[in-house]
């Protein structure tokens, strides 16, 4: 029951699994959509875009309480998103 969302360096959705879509209440396929177009709570957006990462942060999305972990995606030492 883990949702995964991968953002690029411009905060556009590049990957989202079915569980993330369900947990975040996303009806349409958000690929290529910027975070500002997803109508997510501001505090969750800040966590998702933080450079410092996050571990076990609690967020309320609709009627769901989510435990969120965030880290920078990198490849061969280069930050990708």
Q: If the chain, 81 residues long, is cut into consecutive pieces of 10 residues, what is the mean pLDDT of each piece?
A: 91 95 92 93 93 91 94 85 80
Output the pTM of the full model. Answer: 0.85
Contact 56, 72 (CB under 8 A): no
In this prediction, residue 74 carries a pLDDT of 83
Who's near 32: CB < 8 A, 6+ residues apart? 12, 13, 14
In this prediction, residue 27 carries a pLDDT of 84
């Amino acid at each position: 029951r883990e949702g995964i969302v991968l953002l690029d360096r411009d905060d556009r959705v590049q990957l989202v699994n079915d569980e993330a879509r369900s947990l975040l209440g996303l009806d349409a396929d958000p690929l290529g959509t910027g975070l500002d177009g997803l109508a997510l709570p501001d505090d969750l957006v800040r966590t998702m875009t933080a450079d410092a990462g996050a571990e076990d942060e609690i967020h309320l999305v609709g009627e769901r309480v989510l435990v969120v972990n965030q880290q920078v995606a990198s490849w061969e030492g280069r930050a990708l998103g």
